[in-house]
A and B are shown apart, each in its own frame.
Chain A
């Protein structure tokens, strides 16, 4: 790998590792709120598997000489904010919100980011690793949408009352202060590196298509809201960027350190080693 590619890819890989790690933490919250014992058990596995992805990507970074002195890359401010929110509210956020957010992230990771990476890097081991990660991710996405459909099938009364839960200020603030800048920063970084915006579009189309297959998924307010948000994110000319996401990236870059300093110990769980 040339020095140029390495320098270009390092921040991208670091973001990828941290997004997987946050995704893992998201599954831990889902497991705690799972509607049935079986789904809880499945989420416990997904939690572990997402951490496995983060570790595997970290191992690739080490292989490519991207880790300075074997050190885990420092998360950026937006990631730290997401960690803070998950630590503080993760286990109390409404189930259908997280349950719809995670497949959207997975569609984007799986469909756009990882494909971009395998197109850019020729390392055969990298292709092998992401073949495994993708097959996990496909399994996760299938289950995620099954659960959404299950939640939707609980009926209109439940759909409406859980839609009201989404108006919880923690959810609204979480989306505006944490999710919007986190995604926008990553989105712009990767488009700047040469990812075609069309691929991001395909990821959101896939989210819509898979959700559209479920008979009851459409009843979920969280799914509908994220569909709208996903479409705004991919369209760079949408006022969403000018009025909300771009200013939020700027503001969150200056969040005082003491607010986001002490993360919980799961953050230290990353390791590029396969044997312990």
Chain B
């Protein structure tokens, strides 16, 4: 378990924030491509991932899972189809405006001009999946993986059966290897 802290990224404070608890998570912890092979029927699932990753994971998982809680670590621009370079910015803005009616959700899904990547992810169903009543979008930073789920910075424990850790998630480095094996 000590390796969890040693592997943490060197960013100030992030080792404290993104950490695996000493008592391991009771459910399934899926890393890498593990999420693709798992069968989610009736499960409560949490996704810890960047927006770009969540855009491909969420629509798939939502087909069979009972509920999905998405901890979107960074937002991403999305277009429903491939759009030629110069039009991408405009198209992704329009797509967000058209697909997401709620202003606050839209604000959360909008990448920051200065800090977030300008890359555009292609996904026809991400926004629809996010607004599905079985999906919860959480914009609070996830604080730790606890025994029964994910504890986030707002002090709430989101209880789930399965956690998917995206490859570029800041939890990817801190998830203990034993958990990685148990996922197989």
8 contacts between A and B (CB under 8 A): A34-B115, A38-B12, A45-B153, A47-B140, A48-B141, A266-B104, A274-B157, A275-B156
**Could you list which residues of chain A lie within 8 angstroms of chain B, going by C-beta atoms?**
32, 34, 37-38, 40-41, 44-45, 47-49, 51-52, 55-56, 87, 91, 264-266, 271, 273-276
**Could you list which residues of chain B lie within 8 angstroms of chain A, going by C-beta atoms?**
12, 17, 102-105, 107, 112, 115, 136, 140-141, 152-159
Task: Give the tally of cross-chain contacts (CB within 8 A).
Answer: 56
Q: Which 10 A-B pairs have the closest CB atoms?
A: A48-B153, A52-B155, A264-B104, A48-B140, A48-B154, A265-B104, A266-B104, A51-B154, A52-B154, A275-B157
Q: Are A276 and B157 interface neighbours, CB within 8 A? A: yes
Q: Which of B17, B105, B156 contacts A276 (CB 8 A)?
A: B156
Q: Are B153 and A52 interface neighbours, CB within 8 A? A: yes
A264 to B100, CA, bound (A): 13
| Contact A55:B156 (CB < 8 A) given known A48-B141, A264-B104 | yes
Give the nearest-CB partner of A56 in chain B: B155
Give the nearest-CB partner of B12 in chain A: A38
**Shortest CB distance A10–B (Å):** 23
List residues of chain A with CB within 8 A of the CB of B105.
Answer: 265
Q: Are A265 and B155 interface neighbours, CB within 8 A? A: no
List residues of chain A with CB within 8 A of the CB of B102.
Answer: 264-265
List residues of chain B with CB within 8 A of the CB of A51.
Answer: 140, 154
A218 to B155, CA, bound (A): 35
List residues of chain A with CB within 8 A of the CB of B140.
Answer: 47-48, 51
| Contact A276:B12 (CB < 8 A) given known A48-B140, A265-B102 | no
